[in-house]
Amino acid sequence: SFIADGYHIPYYTLRAVIRAKGKERSILVSDLAHLSGFPEGEYNKNGLTVVLKDGGLWVKSEGTNLLSGAIKTLNEGCEYLAVHAGFTIEEALVLASLNPARYMGAEHKTQLYPGYKGPLVLFSWKDKKLIIKEVHNCHG
């Protein structure tokens, strides 16, 4: 699995590793920190002072540049793969949805059929942004 947020792995490394491993065996994940959505500034994370800035969470320590986590969502990871790493948005979405479902034995949850139960997300891809339009919880 890979985090595509621009901090953990450079885009050119992501591209090379995913192509070497194979798209069908690669999974896109996020380590979305609990401070996602908060304004930039200093926070306490498990007794450690961290600084939220530039889309990342950084350990506050003199002379270091240590990443403590990212605040990028999975849909932002899909955008990153499509915009920077040379994948289509469709390929990125497969890495974030179908591939993890296959790995967990839940591929059936990624297919629509009469009586489908589960979440359904409607989105658009416009100006290199994945825009979530609606989220439904289907009850079959």
- pLDDT band for 140, please (50, 70, 90 cuts): confident
Find the range with the poorest average confidence among 1-5, 30-34, 113-117: 30-34
Distance of CA 74 to the CA centre of its chain: 2
* Amino acid at residue number 48: L
pLDDT in tens, 61-89: 887 778 888 888 899 999 999 999 999 99
Q: How high is the pLDDT of residue 36?
A: 80
Look up the pTM and report it.
0.85
* Predicted local confidence at residue 3, as pLDDT: 93
Range list of H helices, 22-128 = 74-84, 89-96, 98-103
* CA distance linking residue 55 with residue 32, whole number of Å: 11
Q: List all residues 6 or more positions away from 90 whose beta carbon is below 8 Å from its beta carbon.
A: none
Give the lowest-confidence range in 22-26, 30-34, 101-105: 30-34
Give pLDDT, residue 7: 87
CB 110 within 8 A of CB 124: no
Nearest to 137 by CA among 122, 117, 108: 117
- Domain-wise residue ranges, the chain: 2-32+72-108
Cβ-Cβ contacts under 8 Å for 108 (sequence gap 6 or more): none
CA distance linking residue 29 with residue 100, whole number of Å? 9
- How far is 89 from 127, CA to CA, in rounded Å? 12
Quick: pLDDT tens for 113-136.
898 888 889 999 999 999 999 999
